[in-house]
Amino acid sequence: MALPRITSPHAKGSNRTQQVMLQVLLATVPGILALTWLFGAGTLYNLALASLFAITFEALILVARQRPVGFFLKDYSALVTAVLLGLALPPYAPWWLTLVAVGFAIVFGKQLYGGLGQNPFNPAMLGYVVVLISFPVEMTSWPAPHSVGALDGLKQVLGIAALPDGWAQATALDALKVNNSLTMDELRAANPAFGHFGGAGSEAVNLAFLAGGLYLLHKRIFSWHAPVGMLAALAVMSLLFWNGSGSDSNGSPLFHLLTGATMLGAFFIVTDPVSGATSNRGRLVFGIGVGVLVYVIRAWGGYPDAVAFAVLLMNLAAPTIDYYTRPRSYGHRKPNSGFKLGE
């Protein structure tokens, strides 16, 4: 009897990084659709500009670093950074804002550290924070839902004609932060930025990102540890410090879970395999740290939303987390603690 003999490896040969990145891009689609439904074409403009800039910057810096351009462009990591930035920046952001954010993310955040896999910080969040602290006015101008036309928006993006005053409104997190006189019910009634649980519409956006994230989880692109850690920590913190719905309210747990960048952060940012912790236990700690910091900054810090800052701070802590959460290796009763010299 002749048995078919096929030599190993049996796995399909593929560029794994490219596959992962493509899956991540695919998983952002529900979020993109939700954002587009909510704010009009602004998100699409952001995505198009960010992708264009990212590919250009990546190609230029690869040439300058004398690395093969085509090979590294094909791993799509620059595109993922661009898409995450395009989703995080306010819709109808002026083109130069996107340029600065993407430039910093790709050139300073990733390539100057040595390219994909060497960057200690999440490039997209680095670019976001750079523009957030440099251009606070532009970065806090989120349009009111369903208010800006595609053509007017395009003119705003290109800097040809500004949108009429009042096109931007405070987000729900903003409104909650500056509120000190209205109870939650009054605030909800007075401010169109609030929806049923979280921000108006942004709860739908968050649910869409949650759907995309669950798809990635199903595909085993990342493990559950980091996102669950972050969401659980945020929920626990907001439950612990939930002081009812008076005028000094910090917001309910559901509000925090479904507002701002929570779900985008939990499934697309915290799960970054490069800048996060490496072991499963470490990822859990990393996620919890991000969740706690997000709540601390939202409730008591100077900025309305905090995912980017929280992620960057925990990126700094990731090597320490790795140091203390080394897994036990086979044949040893206890994990090797500490690193040997020259390792």
Strands (E), the chain: 142-143, 168-169
- Contact yes or no for 95/49 (Cβ under 8 A): yes
Nearer to other proteins, 83 or 139 (CB): 139
Site string for other proteins, 97-136 (x = CB under 8 A): ---x-------x---------------------x--xxxx
- Contact yes or no for 59/73 (Cβ under 8 A): yes
Task: In angstroms, give the least distance from the CB of 108 to other proteins.
Answer: 7
Distance of CA 328 to the CA centre of its chain: 31
Which residues touch 321 (CB under 8 Å, ≥6 apart)? 277, 282, 285, 286, 289
Nearer to other proteins, 96 or 241 (CB): 96
Task: In angstroms, give the least distance from the CB of 153 to other proteins.
Answer: 20
- Contact yes or no for 287/225 (Cβ under 8 A): yes
Locate 328 and state its tokens.
């036990």
In degrees, rounded to 5, the angle at the alpha carbon of residue 162 between the alpha carbons of residues 158 and 164 is 145
Task: In angstroms, give the least distance from the CB of 160 to other proteins.
Answer: 15
Task: In angstroms, give the least distance from the CB of 99 to other proteins.
Answer: 12
Task: In angstroms, give the least distance from the CB of 110 to other proteins.
Answer: 15
* DSSP letter for each residue of 238-259: HHHT--TTSTT----HHHHHTS
Site string for other proteins, 136-155 (x = CB under 8 A): x-x-----------------
Site string for other proteins, 176-195 (x = CB under 8 A): --------------------
- The yes or no reply on residue 215 touching other proteins (CB under 8 A) is no
In degrees, rounded to 5, the angle at the alpha carbon of residue 144 between the alpha carbons of residues 98 and 89 is 20
Q: Which residues 10-49 are close enough to bind other proteins by CB under 8 A?
A: none
Number of residues that bind other proteins (CB under 8 A): 9
Burial classification of residue 69, based on how many CB atoms lie within 10 Å of its CB (0-12 exposed, 13-18 middle, 19 or more buried): middle
Query: How many CA atoms lie within 13 Å of 206's alpha carbon, on the beta-carbon side?
Result: 22
Which residues touch 69 (CB under 8 Å, ≥6 apart)? 59, 62, 63
Q: Which residues 68-97 are close enough to bind other proteins by CB under 8 A?
A: 96
Nearer to other proteins, 132 or 210 (CB): 132
Nearer to other proteins, 130 or 221 (CB): 130
The partner residues of 306 in beta bridges, in order of sequence, read: none
Q: Which residues 278-337 are close enough to bind other proteins by CB under 8 A?
A: none
Task: In angstroms, give the least distance from the CB of 286 to other proteins.
Answer: 23
Nearer to other proteins, 108 or 167 (CB): 108
Task: In angstroms, give the least distance from the CB of 134 to other proteins.
Answer: 4
Nearer to other proteins, 112 or 239 (CB): 112
Task: In angstroms, give the least distance from the CB of 89 to other proteins.
Answer: 15
Nearer to other proteins, 60 or 211 (CB): 60
Nearer to other proteins, 138 or 152 (CB): 138
Task: In angstroms, give the least distance from the CB of 135 to other proteins.
Answer: 6
In degrees, rounded to 5, the angle at the alpha carbon of residue 116 between the alpha carbons of residues 115 and 118 is 70
Tell me which residue of 252, 262, 258 sits closest to 294, measured CA to CA: 262
Cis geometry, peptide bond prior to residue 273 (ω within 30 degrees of 0):
no
**d(C-alpha 41, C-alpha 43), whole Å:** 6
Nearer to other proteins, 115 or 192 (CB): 115
Q: Which residues bind other proteins (CB under 8 A)?
A: 96, 100, 108, 130, 133-136, 138
